[in-house]
């Protein structure tokens, strides 16, 4: 497999989706891994584009059959990443972007190891995050409260990630993310160095 994986995690509302779109717009070889979820579609979301929407019974069947690289229960809904999809992308040399939570990252890290570059995206403080969640008008107050509580739990895992982006100014955050995404493709850990050196001397 010659591709690489960029994992983006962070609290809901931190701007992960917007930063992901910038990577897809600027790096031709980048692809987004569409997660499977049991949550209901939000306004403007389409099945097979934003997520693969399913029910809990079907999701559980996929778990039992080992179809997921990682899966997690987030805010009462299930999210999973297809292992078959990721494998195909890596075989074709793609930069695969995964927007997954902390617990999903921990699982993926054990399975994909050196293929992964990890980034944690957050706001400058809790108040800023709350304001963003309120302004996007897609969640009830109870859901916003739940997301803020989960954000507190996620923040303590920042040290598990290679990079941290504080998304206070979007242009600055975008430039940082594009730099990380571009460099992840050239990580030396992705190369079988002994094989490369041997080949280099032969030719």
Residue 17 inside a domain? The answer is yes
Residue 173 inside a domain? The answer is yes
Residue 65 inside a domain? The answer is no
Whole-number pLDDT of residue 198: 80
Residue 26 inside a domain? The answer is yes
Whole-number pLDDT of residue 197: 77
Q: Hey, what are 175's tokens?
A: 């430039």
How far is residue 124's CA from residue 185's CA, in Å, rounded to a whole number? Answer: 28
Q: pLDDT band for 188, please (50, 70, 90 cuts).
A: low
Whole-number pLDDT of residue 1: 59
Residue 8 inside a domain? The answer is yes
Number of domains within the chain:
1
Residue recorded with tokens 């571009």: 182
Is pLDDT of 161 > 70? Answer: yes
Q: What is the CATH number of the domain that holds 169?
A: 3.40.50.300
Q: Range of 146's domain?
A: 4-34+95-202
Burial class (CB in 10 A: 0-12, 13-18, 19+), 19: buried
What pLDDT digit, counting tens, does each position of 70-113 carry?
988 877 889 999 998 899 999 999 999 999 989 889 999 998 88
Task: Centre a 10 Å sphere on the Cβ of residue 167 and count the other Cβ atoms it contains.
Answer: 24
Residue 28 inside a domain? The answer is yes
Mean pLDDT for 125-131 is 92
Whole-number pLDDT of residue 128: 93
How far is residue 99's CA from residue 105's CA, in Å, rounded to a whole number? Answer: 9
Residue 90 inside a domain? The answer is no
Residue 58 inside a domain? The answer is no
At what angle are helices 170-184 and 16-26 packed, to 10 degrees? 60
Whole-number pLDDT of residue 191: 62
Q: pLDDT band for 136, please (50, 70, 90 cuts).
A: confident
Is pLDDT of 137 > 90? Answer: no
What pLDDT digit, counting tens, does each position of 7-49 carry?
999 998 999 999 999 999 999 999 999 989 999 888 888 888 8
pLDDT over 70 percentage in the chain: 96
């Amino acid at each position: 497999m010659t591709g690489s994986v960029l994992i983006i995690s962070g609290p809901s509302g931190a701007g992960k989706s917007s930063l992901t779109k910038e990577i897809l717009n600027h790096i031709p070889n980048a692809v987004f891994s569409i997660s499977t979820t049991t949550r209901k579609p939000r306004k403007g979301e389409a099945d097979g584009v934003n997520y693969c929407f399913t029910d809990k019974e079907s999701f559980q069947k996929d778990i039992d059959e080992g179809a997921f690289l990682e899966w997690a229960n987030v805010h009462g809904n299930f999210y999973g990443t297809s292992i078959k999809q990721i494998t195909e992308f890596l075989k074709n040399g793609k930069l695969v972007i995964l927007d997954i939570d902390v617990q999903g990252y921990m699982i993926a890290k054990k399975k994909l190891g050196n293929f992964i570059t990890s980034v944690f995206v957050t706001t400058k403080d809790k108040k800023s995050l709350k304001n963003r969640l309120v302004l996007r008008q897609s969640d009830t107050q109870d859901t916003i409260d739940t997301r803020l509580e989960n954000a507190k739990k996620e923040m303590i895992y920042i040290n598990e990630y290679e990079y941290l982006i504080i998304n206070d100014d979007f242009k600055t955050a975008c430039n940082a993310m594009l730099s990380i995404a571009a460099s992840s493709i050239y990580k030396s850990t992705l190369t079988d160095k002994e094989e490369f050196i041997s080949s280099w001397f032969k030719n």
